[in-house]
Chain A
Amino acid sequence: MTEAVLQTRGLFKAFGALQATEDVSIELRPGEIHAVIGPNGAGKSTLIGQISGAIVPDAGAVLLGGRDVTALAVPGRAKAGLARTFQISQLAMEDTVLQNALLGALGAAGRPFDMLRPVARRGALRDRAEAALARVGLTDQARMRVAELSHGQRRQLEVAVALTLAPKCFVMDEPMAGLGTEGSARLTGLLDGLRAEAPILLVEHDMDAVFALADRISVLVYGRVIASGTVAEIRADPAVREAYLGDAA
């Protein structure tokens, strides 16, 4: 077995009496898309928070490329190679598409305290940002303000910003959220190609996308991983059928 790029070991987190995650251990291996699914309130957001560094776990560890990053905050984990996208787009609405991508490139390059040279003249940043935009198909929109973009284009930009980081792995929080069939299909195609660059931990509600993309699936219910395996294994798992998919599936 190849070594996991991203690994969680026994993550626990409680909010008061509510146990949001309980002993969650999952692995993301090179080249794969690993989907995490589960009903609302299953603890998916808490899990993403703990992986990205926004939420400090009560117990457990997060490893990135074999290195324990549990003590790092969000920026540190991003620098270590973890790129995340948000369920609700986190984009600077007043800025242009290119500027948003540049922000990612700047984060990857470090040195954000340069205040005398215009960003536009830092060729390396610009190349990186434009390459990411081209990858998601937003080259023509580069000079538009984010506020003028359609919802689907914003979801693409979310991915582009993550791409500028050239990360070791992606953590995507419901990238399909709010998309129609067409947009969903386009993004599915995009993510499909991305796994070659870095593996993706995909939290998603859109089951069509999940079954189309995922190499493996983990099912989270009430904060626990009740099943983990290939798509076929999960489809066949009786516990999953009962707890989550119901008999309809």
Chain B
Amino acid sequence: MSREAVFNLVVLAGLVALPLYAHLSDAPFTITLATRAVILSLAAVGLNIALGIGGLVSLGHAVFFGVGGYAMGILAFHAQTYAPLMEWPFVVEGTKSMPVIWLVAVVFSALVALGIGLLSLRTSGVYFIMITLAFGQMFYYFAISWSAYGGEDGMSIYVRNGFPGLNTLVPVQFYGLCLVLLCAALAFNAVLLRSPFGLALNAARQVPDRVRAVGLDPFRLRLLAFVISGAITGLAGALFADLNRFVSPTMFSWQLSGEFIVFIIIGGTARLFGPVAGAVLFVALEHFLGGVSDYWHIWFGLLLLGVVLFGRGGLIGVIAGRGRGHD
């Protein structure tokens, strides 16, 4: 077994063992923190399909995160106020059921990704980075002025949504649910990497001319990758909204899109567990550094700079040795 595989197993074991530790040491907040890390990991795993395999540096992935969050917020808001979502041509009621919310979140973020992808994948390089950023800003300002759903204030959902057979209000149970989804996404990612689609997408990042020359269209490959990526990040958004029982336009902010990229880089680009390692590290740093100094962003910035300049390959690169780079 390679060192990377060992590392992945250790991370996974840690995530599974954590609730046990938290239970024994009576630290329920540790679970909340871990849930946050797991959900952000899921969002970054989504982005990594576009960025790590497809080479699409999207600085607007918070859009999908936000769409997923608002899907949850809007459905739950209508459920808690007993006002139907729409009455014509047929009545659509809100819901507090997580599976339904997840489905809606995934479908809508996939549709948004399809729309954004169709337009922005015509560009490449810096233009792609910038046009995704612009779409992010568009959604951000739209959410701020969408007063029906709280505008800048966002929306509070007073009780976490339910999942059949579980009590999601118990932190460990919600954590378990998120962890299962993260593992499912990682498994899907692993399968994808070995599939014909993974092969073709990977090649489309490295040698698009070759991919065309064998009769495949890189645009379509990238578009599909972008849609899948957006759907997974959207699912993470719905979970994040449920974790906080709150949605707001900050879920669309470009800084959040930047942070998703940060997770992937500090974890290790194009590593299966890179986004997970990065997000866990980020949440831990935010928690501990934030306690040490008011100016913790400086230290975090320096750390990030160090990783980019000297620690290529991220955390996993340092631990497991060099894999393939991302350039």
Contact = CB atoms under 8 A, between A and B. Distances in A.
Contacts of A54: 209, 212
Contact of B195 (A79, A115, A165): A115
A117 B199 contact: no
B124 to A, nearest CB: 15
A159 B308 CA distance: 38
B203 A119 contact: no
Interface stretch (B144-152, B157-165, B215-223, B292-300): B215-223
A165 to B, nearest CB: 6
B206 A103 contact: no
A115 B203 contact: no
B317 to A, nearest CB: 14
A92 B207 contact: yes
Interface in A84-123: 84, 86, 90-95, 99-100, 102-104, 106-108, 110-120, 122
Nearest to A76: B215
A106 B194 contact: no
Contact of A107 (B192, B194, B216): B216
A79 B207 contact: no
A108 B210 CA distance: 13
B128 to A, nearest CB: 20
B210 A90 contact: yes
B170 interface: no
Given A78-B212, A93-B206, A95-B206, A103 B199 contact: yes
B191 A78 contact: no
A7 interface: no
A115 B213 contact: no
A161 interface: yes
B184 to A, nearest CB: 13
B241 interface: no
Given A92-B203, A92-B207, A94-B324, A119 B213 contact: no
- Scoring A83, A107, A110, A114 by chain B CB atoms within 10 A of each residue's CB, the highest score goes to A107
Contacts of A200: none
Interface residues of B, number: 25
Interface in B176-212: 191-192, 194-200, 202-203, 206-207, 209-212
Nearest to B210: A90
Nearest to B209: A90
B214 to A, nearest CB: 3
A53 to B, nearest CB: 8
Interface residues of A, number: 41
B224 interface: yes
- Scoring A79, A103, A112, A117 by chain B CB atoms within 10 A of each residue's CB, the highest score goes to A112
A27 to B, nearest CB: 22
A161 B199 CA distance: 14
Given A90-B207, A115-B192, A52 B200 contact: no
A79 B210 contact: no
A108 B206 CA distance: 19
A112 B210 contact: no
Given A90-B207, A90-B209, A116-B191, A103 B215 contact: no
A164 B216 CA distance: 14
Nearest to B228: A115
Contacts of A95: 199, 202-203, 206
B206 A92 contact: yes
Nearest to A110: B215
B212 A74 contact: yes
Contact of B202 (A84, A92, A104): A92
B207 A112 contact: no
B191 A107 contact: no
Given A94-B324, A103-B211, A106-B216, A116 B195 contact: yes
A203 interface: no
B277 to A, nearest CB: 21
13 contacts: A86-B213, A92-B207, A95-B199, A100-B203, A103-B200, A103-B211, A107-B214, A107-B215, A115-B191, A115-B197, A116-B195, A119-B195, A161-B210
Interface of B: 191-192, 194-200, 202-203, 206-207, 209-217, 221, 224, 324
Interface of A: 52, 54, 73-76, 78-79, 83-84, 86, 90-95, 99-100, 102-104, 106-108, 110-120, 122, 125, 161, 164-165
10 shortest A-B CB distances, which residue pairs? A107-B214, A78-B215, A90-B210, A115-B197, A74-B212, A107-B215, A118-B194, A92-B206, A79-B215, A112-B200
Given A74-B212, A93-B206, A114-B196, 9 more contacts: A78-B212, A90-B210, A99-B199, A102-B199, A103-B199, A107-B215, A116-B191, A117-B195, A118-B195
